[in-house]
């Protein structure tokens, strides 16, 4: 190994599958393909330039479409990453991931890994076999970001399509387009010029971001999401309780209103101490709720509010502490 190679920062890549590792029978078919077909070595082989940026080591954590990823996988991944960083084995972490639930994994890692080192979650919208596949450049940039000192103390980040985004705020907004990850109110943290990141602001973390310690959590409770609409009844909420959910998030309309049947059922549950969190299905803005009627999720969307609630329940938080996770004083 040359002197230069020895000086490169160490970046650990955990591969989980997704379209970035997807293969299609035809290089012009971006719709019918098998996510999670190509292994970590195949991903690295597609972008040999990566070895000029960092001393990379890869690990195949999973190889699936991201709709198959479960919260137990997230718990395990978070602990593995914490271990890598605590033991000084990596200066930064990259997780390759399907884009469908990428924001959930990114958010989970943001809330649970205690570090100032960069954790970058990367995916692709076109399979690896496609003409103009976006995966190789995304992976190169994600690795460059994980290796970059300027990327520290910004929380976990999402990297696709040249944009650096906060894992806390960003969400998938388009089922097909390359430019799908957005935080329309909060914007991007920065962008890439070739393999060089450019940040708009100096390092900061989202206001009031809760932090959870996974080292003592061995299991996450069931928390369901129930979608409200004009005719929403209470039966799906009740079905969640019956199947053992320890909390429910309602994807409510506007700033936190559910249908009358759901509101009433949620109120009854809230009075027994069962946590019901109201988020907004609008995609932006605050969901609010008087504490005696439930918990407003603030700026956190339903799929992310579910993660906060699972972690808060697993940490034995009381209702006041749960509420503070969403609405810090
Ligand atoms: N269905 C894929 C997945 O989430 C989509 C993607 O990766 O873009 O695994």
Q: Ligand 1 centre and the CA of 103: distance in Å?
A: 12
pLDDT in tens, 271-321: 999 999 999 999 999 999 999 999 999 999 999 999 999 999 999 999 999
If you take atom 3 of ligand 1, which residue's CA is the nearest one? 98
Q: Which atom of ligand 1 is nearest to the CA of 125?
A: 8
Q: Which CATH class is domain 223-326?
A: alpha beta
Q: What is the mean pLDDT of residues 189-201?
A: 97
Q: What is the pLDDT of residue 328?
A: 74
Q: Which CATH class is domain 3-199?
A: alpha beta
6 pLDDT tier (thresholds 50, 70, 90) = low
Q: Is the Cβ–Cβ distance between 64 and 123 less than 8 Å?
A: no
Domain locations in the chain? Answer: 3-199, 223-326
Whole-model pTM: value is 0.97
Q: Which atom of ligand 1 is nearest to the CA of 67?
A: 4
Q: What is the mean pLDDT of residues 8-17?
A: 98
Q: Ligand 1 centre and the CA of 321: distance in Å?
A: 34
Q: What is the pLDDT of residue 105?
A: 99
Q: Is the Cβ–Cβ distance between 173 and 185 less than 8 Å?
A: no
pLDDT in tens, 59-116: 999 999 999 999 999 999 999 999 999 999 999 999 999 999 999 999 999 999 999 9
Strand-strand pairing, 163-166 and 171-172: unpaired
Residues in contact with ligand 1 by the CB-under-6-Å rule are 18-19, 35, 65-66, 98-100, 123, 125
Q: Which atom of ligand 1 is nearest to the CA of 68?
A: 9
327 pLDDT tier (thresholds 50, 70, 90) = confident
Q: Which atom of ligand 1 is nearest to the CA of 97?
A: 7
DSSP reduced 3-state for 204: coil
In percent, how much of the chain has pLDDT > 90?
96
Active-site residues, by number, are 19
Q: Is the Cβ–Cβ distance between 77 and 109 less than 8 Å?
A: yes
Q: What is the mean pLDDT of residues 201-218?
A: 96
Q: What is the pLDDT of residue 1?
A: 47
Q: Ligand 1 centre and the CA of 193: distance in Å?
A: 25
Q: Where are the beta strands (DSSP E) in the chain?
A: 10-17, 23-24, 33-34, 55-64, 92-96, 119-122, 157-160, 163-166, 171-172, 181-182, 190-193, 196-199, 223-227, 247-252, 276-280, 295-296
Q: What is the best residue among 30, 64, 65, 128 to mutate for testing ligand 1's pocket, by most ligand atoms within 8 Å of CB?
A: 65
pLDDT in tens, 149-184: 999 999 999 999 999 999 999 999 999 999 999 999
If you take atom 8 of ligand 1, which residue's CA is the nearest one? 99
3-199 shares its CATH topology with 223-326: yes
pLDDT in tens, 25-68: 999 999 999 999 999 999 999 999 999 999 999 999 999 999 99
Nearest to 248, CA basis, from 292, 313, 298:
313
pLDDT in tens, 214-264: 999 999 999 999 999 999 999 999 999 999 999 999 999 999 999 999 999
Residue 76, judged by CB atoms within 10 A of its CB (0-12, 13-18, 19+), counts as middle
Q: Ligand 1 centre and the CA of 328: distance in Å?
A: 33
């Amino acid at each position: 190994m040359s002197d230069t190679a020895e000086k490169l920062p160490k970046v650990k890549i955990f591969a989980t599958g997704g379209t970035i590792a997807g293969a299609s029978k035809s290089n012009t078919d971006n719709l019918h393909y098998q996510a999670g077909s190509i292994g970590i070595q195949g991903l690295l082989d597609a972008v040999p330039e990566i070895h000029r940026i960092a001393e990379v080591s890869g690990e195949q954590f999973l190889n699936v479409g991201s709709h198959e990823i479960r919260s137990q996988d997230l718990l395990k991944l978070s602990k593995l990453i914490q271990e890598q960083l605590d033991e000084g084995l990596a200066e930064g972490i990259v997780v390759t991931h399907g884009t469908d639930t990428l924001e959930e994994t990114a958010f989970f890692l943001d809330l649970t890994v205690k570090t100032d080192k960069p954790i970058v979650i990367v995916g692709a919208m076109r399979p690896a076999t496609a003409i103009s596949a976006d995966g190789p450049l995304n992976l190169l940039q994600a690795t460059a970001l994980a290796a970059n000192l300027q990327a520290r103390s910004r929380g976990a980040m999402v990297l696709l399509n040249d944009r650096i985004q906060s894992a806390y705020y960003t969400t998938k907004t388009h089922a097909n387009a390359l430019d799908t990850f957005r935080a329309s109110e909060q914007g991007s943290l920065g962008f890439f010029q070739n393999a060089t990141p450019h940040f708009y602001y100096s390092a900061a973390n989202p206001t009031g971001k809760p932090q959870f310690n996974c080292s003592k959590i061995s299991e996450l409770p069931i928390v369901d999401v129930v979608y409200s609409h004009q005719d929403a009844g209470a039966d799906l909420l009740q079905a969640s309780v019956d199947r053992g959910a320890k909390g429910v998030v309602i994807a409510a309309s506007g700033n936190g209103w559910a249908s009358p049947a759901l509101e009433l059922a949620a109120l009854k549950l809230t009075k027994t101490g069962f946590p019901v969190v109201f988020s907004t299905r609008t995609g932006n803005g605050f969901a609010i709720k008087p504490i005696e009627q439930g918990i407003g999720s603030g700026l956190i969307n339903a799929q992310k509010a579910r993660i906060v609630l699972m972690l808060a329940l697993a940490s034995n938080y009381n209702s006041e502490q749960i509420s503070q996770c969403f609405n810090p004083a």
